[in-house]
Amino acid sequence: MLYVYAFVSAPASLPDVSGVGGSPLGARRIDVLDAVVSEHELPVDASETAVLEHARVVGMHADEAALSAAVAGRELVEALGRVRGCVELGLRVLGAAGSQASAATGAEYMRARLERRRELERLADELHVPLAALARDSTLALGTTPRLLLTAAYLVPRGDVEAFGETVASLQAAHPELGIVCTGPWPPYSFAIAAEERS
């Protein structure tokens, strides 16, 4: 069995560590990518030890032909190229705690929902749009909970992280009534798959 840890641009630079169960690491070339793997007689159990040795199991394949088949058509080269040199920055925008107004009729309820949606879209124009302009890609969710008004992730080139932080600070200053929290930089988890798979 081949235990797959990651796909990287070829040639792979293997770390000087052992793989799951103390097995040596190797690389298998697939087009312009290398799969970092270790070989095992049987499938690796998802034990606590194995999880600690490799926190995220990418996949297991019966042989090199199965590995090649699994990679084919996934556009990994394009996905890796898109995130190369970037980090992920997250944004959470919280509104003031308070009770939502109740509606006496269904029509009032629907009008209130429509107005809230419009308010959230205006907020996204003010907060998300300038940050997205600094990013290679972004995701956005509006009104996840009554208090969580906006959640976003941004794929930001490393050289633009400081400018991104300055823009967040200016938005925080312009909106003291909101709780605006920026997190990261993180590995670009939200953007590590092809764009069509996220849509």
- CATH code at 171? 3.30.70
φ/ψ of residue 90, rounded to 5: -105, 155
193 plus 129 within the same structural domain: yes
20 plus 55 within the same structural domain: yes
| Domain housing 145 | 85-198
**Which residue, of 16, 43, 72, is where some domain finishes?**
72
116, two tokens:
């809230």
114 plus 188 within the same structural domain: yes
Residue 31 C-beta-side C-alpha neighbours within 13 Å: 15
pTM of the full structure: 0.59
What number of other Cβ atoms are within 10 A of residue 60's Cβ? 16
30 plus 61 within the same structural domain: yes
**Which residue, of 72, 107, 125, is where some domain finishes?**
72
Number of compact structural domains in the chain:
2
DSSP string, 114-145: HHHHHHHHHHHHHHHHHHHTTSSEEEEEE-SS
Q: Are 60 and 4 in contact (CB under 8 A)?
A: yes
pLDDT of residue 62: 47
Consecutive 10-residue averages of pLDDT for the chain (199 residues): 75 74 83 80 67 47 57 65 87 72 70 77 86 92 82 92 94 90 86 58
**How far is residue 171 from each of residues 93, 126, 188, measured CA to CA in Å?**
11, 8, 23
**Which residue, of 16, 50, 72, is where some domain finishes?**
72
Residue 13 covered by a domain: yes
101 plus 47 within the same structural domain: no
Residue 79 covered by a domain: no
35 plus 94 within the same structural domain: no
Containing H/E element for 72? none
Residue 80 covered by a domain: no
pLDDT of residue 165: 93
Three-state SS at 4: strand
pLDDT of residue 70: 58
